[in-house]
């Protein structure tokens, strides 16, 4: 079968297409999945770029969607022909998070979905939303579930809430869609007038260009009549957190889900304390969270925003497109 592997020390020029043995039939509790699609995330880029070192010859990509080709003894959740989507933490089934690293994450600690066939425990997958393409379903594993957990599971999102999303990456766009579908008002930041127009078309109530407005946190708060937003989808990290604190209301919730501006930095803790705010760090979610999200997507009729699609052979070009920052929504890969 065709696979994409990453050679040490990493880098886009170290990705190569190889042939690997077929994994064979599933054992007890396992399913065999013909992978049809994956999607790009900042975490995947960290791995393939070499910034997050992994084993030599690792098969990258955390997200995988496809069709069940065979089931092992004891499997009752799935049948042959079912459309399924992978989970980010295959061993986190339900309850509190049991892991604080990526040792079990596909594409990092274990081989991922840049390959045609996978045999894995059935609990490593959920069913995909009915009516979604494989490329759409592949966006749930990381970006979709992160936005869902940030807003719904941890944030307790309700109709009438105000939500701030930063930028137009996969998590932010998913958060905008989920918030709008659940009756919340959305505010957004971007550096592109064209992207600002698209955000408005998608239902954003107010968009601030953060390059033109250095104090964009205050501008967002002003747009809410000075109250501040209830939720912030904080994907930037240290360089944006201070502005997010300004934008967030007294007692508001900030979901820290990204480190696009760096892994360490100063945090204005006094300002956050004074406003009684909650800063919740999170990485994706459990299988139960994903099952709940799938049902919600079917109920709301929501479909993810896909930017561009690349064949597996052009995975490096897909990451170069991600590097450019030109994308709006999710970049997908056909396997």
Mind listing the pLDDT tens digit for each residue in 83-121?
Answer: 999 999 999 999 999 999 999 999 999 999 999 999 999
User: Are 14 and 133 contained in the same domain?
Assistant: yes
Q: What angle do CA 104, 170, 98 make, to 5 degrees?
A: 25
Structural domain harbouring 305 = 2-141+285-334
Instruction: Say if residue 260's pLDDT is above 90.
Output: no
Residues in a beta bridge with 303: none
Instruction: Say if residue 44's pLDDT is above 90.
Output: yes
Q: What is the pLDDT of residues 223-256, one digit of tens each?
A: 999 999 999 999 988 889 999 999 999 999 999 9
- How far apart CA 118 and CA 87 sit, in angstroms, is 13
CA dihedral defined by 325, 329, 331, 332, rounded to 10 degrees? 180
Closest listed residue to residue 262, CA positions, set 238, 279, 235: 238
- CA 106 to mean position of chain CA atoms: 14
- How far apart CA 97 and CA 118 sit, in angstroms, is 25
Query: Which whole-number Å values give the CA distances from 19 to 16, 31, 59, 115, in the listed order?
Result: 10, 21, 12, 9
Confidence (pLDDT) at 247: 98
**Which of 237, 258, 281 marks a domain boundary?**
281
User: Are 45 and 71 contained in the same domain?
Assistant: yes
Closest listed residue to residue 155, CA positions, set 220, 209, 230: 230
Share of the chain above pLDDT 90, in %: 95
Confidence (pLDDT) at 77: 94
What is the CATH number for 126? 3.90.180.10
Q: What is the mean pLDDT of the chain?
A: 96
Confidence (pLDDT) at 203: 97
Q: Decide: pTM greater than 0.85.
A: yes
H or E stretch covering 121? strand 117-121
**Overall domain count for the chain:** 2
Confidence (pLDDT) at 79: 98
Instruction: Say if residue 265's pLDDT is above 90.
Output: no
User: Are 10 and 137 contained in the same domain?
Assistant: yes
User: Are 156 and 267 contained in the same domain?
Assistant: yes
């Amino acid at each position: 079968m065709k696979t994409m592997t990453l050679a040490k020390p990493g880098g886009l020029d170290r990705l190569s297409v190889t042939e690997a043995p077929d994994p064979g039939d599933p054992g007890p509790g396992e399913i065999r999945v013909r992978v049809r699609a994956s999607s790009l995330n900042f975490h995947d880029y960290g791995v393939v770029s070499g910034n997050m070192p992994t084993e030599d010859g690792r098969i990258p990509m955390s997200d995988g969607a496809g069709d069940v080709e065979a089931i092992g003894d004891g499997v009752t959740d799935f049948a042959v022909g079912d459309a399924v989507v992978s989970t980010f933490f295959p061993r986190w089934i339900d309850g509190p998070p049991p892991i604080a690293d990526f040792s079990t994450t596909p594409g990092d600690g274990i081989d991922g979905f840049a390959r045609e066939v996978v045999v894995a425990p059935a609990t490593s997958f959920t069913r995909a939303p009915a009516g979604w393409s494989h490329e759409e379903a592949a966006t749930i594993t990381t970006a979709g579930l992160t936005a869902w957990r940030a807003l719904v599971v941890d944030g307790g999102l309700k109709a009438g809430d105000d939500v701030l999303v930063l930028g137009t990456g996969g998590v932010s766009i998913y958060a905008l869609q989920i918030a709008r579908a659940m009756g919340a008002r959305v505010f957004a930041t971007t550096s592109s007038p064209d992207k600002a127009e698209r955000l408005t078309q998608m239902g954003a109530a107010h968009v601030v260009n953060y390059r033109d407005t250095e104090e964009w946190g205050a501008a967002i708060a002003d747009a809410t009549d000075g109250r501040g937003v209830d939720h912030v989808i904080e994907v930037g990290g240290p360089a944006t957190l201070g502005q997010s604190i300004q934008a967030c209301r007294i007692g508001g919730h900030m979901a820290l889900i990204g480190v696009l501006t760096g892994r360490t930095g100063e945090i204005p803790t006094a300002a956050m304390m004074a406003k009684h705010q909650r800063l919740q760090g999170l990485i994706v979610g459990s299988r139960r969270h994903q099952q709940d999200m799938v049902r919600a997507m079917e109920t709301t009729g929501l479909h993810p925003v896909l930017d561009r699609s690349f064949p597996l052979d052009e995975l490096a070009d897909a990451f170069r497109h991600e590097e450019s920052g030109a994308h709006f929504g999710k970049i997908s890969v056909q396997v």
